[in-house]
Amino acid sequence: MFSGWRLTGLAGAVVVALAAAAFALAPEPVEGARMAIRLTARTSLALFLPAFAASALVRLFPSAPTRWLRRNRRYLGVAFAVSHGVHLAAIITLAQLDFAVFLRLTNVVTYLGGGLAYGFILAMTLTSFDRPARLIGLRAWRLLHRTGIWYIWLSFALNFGKRVPISAAYLLPVALIALAALLRLTGGFRSGKRDDEGVSPPADPVEPRA
Ligand code: HEM
């Protein structure tokens, strides 16, 4: 089975190919950019949720698949960052193609809330590599990843949740997002200790000494 950086590479390549196909096959470019934005929001969620819930899943249901998931959560997390990078590229494409449509679909909350989410994604991706992780130290690493992962979770909850009035189909992602939070919270309680709350530094320990 694919794992490690090969998993990140494969998932990233699939997302890029799907977004390019959505853009190319749409009847016109603005619709193509919008389709790529919506598609990558969904691929991002599909990559984020397993990484988000991995630790809780292995504690609640210890098995080979859940252990595989926990071993690979860093690589899924970086694949999520690639997918959301494509989300951003499609947003920029939309703004260039039709700025009026871009303005109609966004507002100041999108820029500030989404901008902060991208700040977290960038910082968390950089510190998924050993050297930058070592540079900031274990405490800062944990604070960044604990805060960032819940902030990204909230961004998904709000962005999918606000679309439920448009279509009841959005209840599916909202239910998955809620379930993942429930798993993570109950998984944490069951373990009886807070340990790293489902995040762990890169394989190489950041602070070798206690
Ligand atoms: C500055 C940052 C961002 C901007 C400007 C932005 C812009 C957009 C736009 C314009 C759409 C609507 C596309 C359409 O209806 O045609 C959209 C959809 C969406 N975005 Fe983003 N976004 C940003 C960041 C984020 C972040 C950080 C998340 C979540 C972590 C997110 C999740 C979503 C979701 C869930 C959708 C709906 C997808 C669907 O309809 O299935 N976005 N975004």
**Residue 95 belongs to domain with CATH number:** 1.20.120
Contact 69, 22 (CB under 8 A): no
The encoded tokens of residue 116 equal 């902060």
pLDDT at 195: 44
CA of 99 to the centre of ligand 1 (A): 16
Q: What residue owns the CA closest to ligand 1's atom 23?
A: 114
Any domain includes 196: no
Contact 16, 86 (CB under 8 A): yes
pTM greater than 0.85: yes
Indicate the number of domains in the chain: 1
pLDDT for 194 beyond 50: no
Any domain includes 199: no
Any domain includes 29: yes
Ligand 1: lining residues by beta carbon, under 6 Å: 34, 37-38, 41-42, 87, 91, 105-106, 110-111, 114-115, 117, 152, 155-156, 159-160, 163
Any domain includes 208: no
Query: What mean pLDDT value characterizes the chain?
Result: 92
* Residue 148 to residues 102, 137, 200, Cα–Cα distance (Å): 26, 16, 13
**Burial track 49-72 (b if 16+ CB lie within 10 A, e otherwise):** bbbbbbbbbbbeeeeeebeebbeb
Which atom number of ligand 1 is nearest to the Cα of residue 170?
A: 41
Tell me the C-alpha distance between 154 and 131, whole Å: 29
pLDDT at 209: 31
CA of 108 to the centre of ligand 1 (A): 13
Average pLDDT over residues 185-207: 57
Which of 90, 80, 201, 82 has the alpha carbon at shortest distance from 152? 80
Q: Give CA 33 to chain center in angstroms.
A: 20
pLDDT at 187: 81
Q: Give CA 89 to chain center in angstroms.
A: 16
Domain span at residue 55 reads 4-191
Q: Which residues contact 153 (CB under 8 A, 6 or more apart)?
A: 48, 52, 177, 180, 181
Amino acid at 131: R
- Lowest-confidence region among 52-56, 66-70, 189-193: 189-193
What percent of the chain lies above the pLDDT cut of 70?
Answer: 90
For 178, other C-beta atoms within 10 Å of its C-beta total: 12
Tell me the C-alpha distance between 132 and 124, whole Å: 10
Any domain includes 203: no
Average pLDDT over residues 169-186: 97
CA of 169 to the centre of ligand 1 (A): 16
Mutate to test the pocket of ligand 1, among 87, 88, 152 (most ligand atoms within 8 A of CB): 87
Q: Give CA 5 to chain center in angstroms.
A: 16
CA of 167 to the centre of ligand 1 (A): 16
Q: What is the DSSP letter of 28?
A: S
CA of 103 to the centre of ligand 1 (A): 13
Any domain includes 202: no
Tell me the C-alpha distance between 28 and 3, whole Å: 37
pLDDT at 69: 97
Amino acid at 194: R
Note the pLDDT tens digit of each residue in 70-129. Answer: 999 999 999 999 999 999 999 999 999 999 999 999 999 999 999 999 999 999 999 999
Residue with tokens 């700025």: 99
pLDDT at 210: 28
Any domain includes 198: no
Any domain includes 201: no
Would you place residue 189 in the very low, low, confident or very high pLDDT band (cuts 50, 70, 90)? low
Mutate to test the pocket of ligand 1, among 18, 38, 101 (most ligand atoms within 8 A of CB): 38
